[in-house]
Amino acid sequence: MYPHGPTGEYRILLAPDDPDDSYQVYTLGPSEPPRHIDIEGPNVEDLSPSTHLMFRGSLHWCIGSIIHVFNTTTESFWQMLAPDVPHSVDRYVMDILYGAVLFEMDGMLSMPILTDEFTSIGIWAMQDYENEVWTSKYRVELPLADLTVQFGKFNPCLHGVPAFWDGDVIILVQFGEWLLRLDMDGKLVANLCHCRGLFPTRHQLKQTLVQHTFFPTLEGYTVNASPFI
């Protein structure tokens, strides 16, 4: 689902199961049948592991080394290359199961890349969007040995940077049954237990803009609390 800038409508893009079928676009609100659009693009099996990112009026999915981009105005697909980083985990194997992480940071398309030894996470940003120029912005060292002793075995399939939150990048990693939140220095900020079997998603929860009067009376309510842990 995405907002359509020129009309202010909210629309749903339905990808086909079969490459011979067409894409469909639903408009929320009017009781109209879906509109078929004759374009070439990835099928639903290719896109389903990854949560899309809305950036510059286009939907972005990253699978392996390819970023699929759907322009919501022209209703067409095109492709970009993800950063080519030596000694990084084979993203294709992980992304085919869980999808890659794309997020916006300082107005740039960004993504994390885990090193093949699981010792650090690099934060890469597309400094020049039109020319597809990536640059390394941060490198977060993971205290792998210490966290393994304290919480259990590291799960590389659940790592990532869900968002640029409150001026900082939030790192989520899983060790054993624990979901951990780390800061940019690799220091533990928060943790959540009993997360075995947790299926990762890149969606975020946001508090309503309407601050109802009963909110402060709720147990555990915190104004502007982190939406992750």
Sign of CA dihedral 72, 76, 79, 80: negative
Distance of CA 100 to the CA centre of its chain: 6
The pLDDT mean for the chain works out to 79
Number of H helices, E strands in the chain: 3, 18
Whether the CB-CB separation of 134 and 124 falls below 8 Å is answered with: yes
In a domain, 225, yes or no: no
Distance of CA 35 to the CA centre of its chain: 28
Residue appearing with tokens 């749903």: 12
Decide: pTM greater than 0.85. no
Rounded-to-integer distance, Cα 223 and Cα 229, Å: 14
Q: Is the pLDDT of residue 197 over 50?
A: yes
Rounded-to-integer distance, Cα 138 and Cα 136, Å: 6
Please give the structure tokens belonging to residue 199: 């299926």
Distance of CA 68 to the CA centre of its chain: 13
pLDDT at residue 98, rounded to an integer: 45
In a domain, 141, yes or no: yes
Which residues neighbour 10 within 8 Å (Cβ) at sequence distance 6 or greater? 1, 2, 3, 4, 27, 28, 29
In a domain, 229, yes or no: no
Residue 41, classified by CB atoms within 10 Å of its CB into exposed (0-12), middle (13-18) or buried (19+), is: buried
pLDDT at residue 37, rounded to an integer: 92
In a domain, 226, yes or no: no
In a domain, 111, yes or no: yes
Residues 117-130: b if buried by 16+ CB within 10 A, e if exposed: ebeebbbbbbeeee
In a domain, 104, yes or no: yes
Tell me the pLDDT tens digit for each residue of 65-74.
889 999 999 9
In a domain, 228, yes or no: no
127, amino acid identity: Q
- pLDDT band, residue 97 (cuts 50/70/90): very low
In a domain, 227, yes or no: no
148 sits in which H/E element: helix 144-151
Residues facing 72 on adjacent strands: none
CA distances (Å), origin 156, targets 50, 191, 192? 16, 17, 17
Q: Is the pLDDT of residue 99 over 50?
A: no
pLDDT at residue 165, rounded to an integer: 60
Q: Which of 75-84, 99-108, 140-149 is modeled with the greatest confidence?
A: 75-84
CB atoms within 10 A of CB 84: 9
Quote the number of domains for the chain.
1
- Find the domain containing 129 and state its range: 2-217
Whether the CB-CB separation of 184 and 138 falls below 8 Å is answered with: yes
Q: Is the pLDDT of residue 208 over 70?
A: no
Higher pLDDT among residues 4 and 215, named by residue:
4
Distance of CA 161 to the CA centre of its chain: 7
Tell me the pLDDT tens digit for each residue of 18-43.
877 899 999 988 778 889 998 988 88
